[in-house]
A and B are shown apart, each in its own frame.
Chain A
Amino acid sequence: MNEKLYLKLKNEEPLTAAEHLELEQALEAGDQSLVAHYLADQDFVEPSMAWRSSLNEKLREIAPQPVADKGSRFKWLGFGGLVAASAVACAAAVAMVFMKGGDSVEVGSSRQIVAESEPSVSPDGLSGSSDFGSALIAAHQSDTAQVSVGVRSPRSTPRMQNVKLDYNNW
């Protein structure tokens, strides 16, 4: 492992893109020396669940709430009234169609607007261990998680923010 990179990690200095890549490649190649050095030299503390929870709470507080969930009981009543009114209007339209002798009605399609969403917060942490038992348990947990949620784990990739859903080229 590159000594300069190790020292930067130890001193918690920001990494360049090239150093990020080197770190990623070293970990991918199964280089445990960095982790071992790091854990040995640091009083390493994984971000606690309480910390993550408080961060999530803060984010939830400042995040814009979806319109559907903001509504009070009265808004729902208002919405209910609107829908009931729409239903009456629809019923009138249906009745008119029947009266006219059953002409076909063409239903227009509406396009879904895809909104940008904020990236989720997931603090990364080196929770690996040079201990056999912990490493095997972590590997079992990782596979369990993947099967449970129906995904497989490739390597980390940069976030794709502000991209268009140009799915024809996927």
Chain B
Amino acid sequence: MRIRSGLIGVLLGLGGLSLAQSVPTASELAARIERAGKTVSYAAVRSITIRSERGNRTFEERVLRSGDKMYLSYDSGTPYADQQIYEVGGKRYTYTKSNNELRVAPIRGGGLETYKLLAEAAKKSAVKVTRGDAVASRATFFVEIASDRGRGTHRIWIDREKYVVLKRSFAVSSSEEIGGFEVLKIDFSAKISSSKFKWPAKAKLITVQDDVRRLAKELSIKPMMIPDSGKMALVSTGKMEVRGQNILRQFYTDGERRLSLFVMKQTDAEMRFSMRGVEVHRWNSGGMTLILIGDYSEAELKKFASRVKA
């Protein structure tokens, strides 16, 4: 009996050793990330860099996570301290303390769905898993996923012990990164109160569509949108100005493919578009010029255009 127990122990130990040394397949990694995602808990600070039309933007977020719930906040010394973000049940709730408004938007793609992206890529053999550089002083597995049809390259660094994404970037070509984040510090032993994941009960709920209407009014533009249907959802909106022309921008995604809709007062201005992997469709309607940009075929963009309503 003693000998048998000892042998089992040795085998378990050696098995654990081989597991620690081997690099998992993309499918195995996806399964481990999914399992860990249900139970993992941590406090972290992460740095985010996003390329925008005004140049690169870098900022830092404080992250609390418990299972599939996330709470994001910003340092009190920053202009963004007024906001708190809650990611719960596949939706992102952005609470603004100063006006007690809670903006709700669906989450499509992103960190919490990494395992789905990996599992899909594994089926298409479009993924490479190796040992990665340390991130926040923690050992990682490195994953590179080349999207089909030239949509971009995902690079993901995953904690070897906890199976949490510690660093991630997205590039439109093999080297041109347009956004990403990197965990700077992380504490997996943090004790986090469940109250951190609850927003104020009396906050005024505002949808992205509400924001489109508000911004359109502000810019004296018709609030033209693609109606919600199935998986495709409006996830964000904003305004921008180019050459004195106010533009209402909307961003839609089904989690995999992306679509931007720009609405402005009718213009004959020449516009040149140059970006690999996307198509553009421009048309005029009701005194407005509308432009769709997305990783869809021209025929698909025309179909979306026919659905746009005020």
Residues of A at the B interface (CB closer than 8 Å) are 27, 30, 32, 35, 49, 53, 60, 65-66, 68-69, 76, 80, 83-84, 86-88, 90-92, 94-95, 98-99, 109, 111-112, 114-117, 119-120, 122-160, 163, 165, 167, 170
Contacts and interface: CB of A to CB of B under 8 A. Distances in A.
10 contacts: A87-B12, A87-B14, A95-B9, A128-B55, A142-B52, A146-B179, A149-B179, A155-B80, A156-B58, A158-B75
Contacts of A136: 242, 247, 260, 262, 271, 273, 291, 293
Contacts of A76: 21
B97 to A, nearest CB: 13
A140 B12 contact: no
Contact of B190 (A49, A88, A147, A165): A165
B260 A143 contact: yes
A157 B61 CA distance: 9
Given A147-B110, A160-B75, A131 B272 contact: yes
A141 B10 contact: no
A93 to B, nearest CB: 8
A144 B58 CA distance: 16
Contact of A140 (B49, B57, B245, B260): B260
Contacts of A32: 241-243
Contacts of B79: 155, 157
Given A68-B139, A145-B178, A88 B134 contact: no
B108 A30 contact: no
Which secondary structure dominates where chain B touches chain A? strand
A128 B53 CA distance: 5
B309 to A, nearest CB: 21
Nearest to B171: A145
Contacts of A111: 189
B242 A115 contact: no
A135 B242 contact: yes
Contacts of A155: 57, 59, 79-80
Given A80-B17, A170-B196, A124 B58 contact: yes
B234 to A, nearest CB: 11
B202 interface: no
Nearest to B80: A154
B139 A141 contact: no
B185 A150 contact: no
Interface string B12-38: 111011001100000000000000000
Contacts of B192: 167
Interface string B174-205: 01101111101111111010001000000000
Given A49-B175, A114-B187, A139-B52, A149 B168 contact: yes
B240 interface: yes
A150 B107 contact: yes
B190 A167 contact: yes
B109 A147 contact: yes
Contacts of A119: 47, 184
Nearest to B253: A147
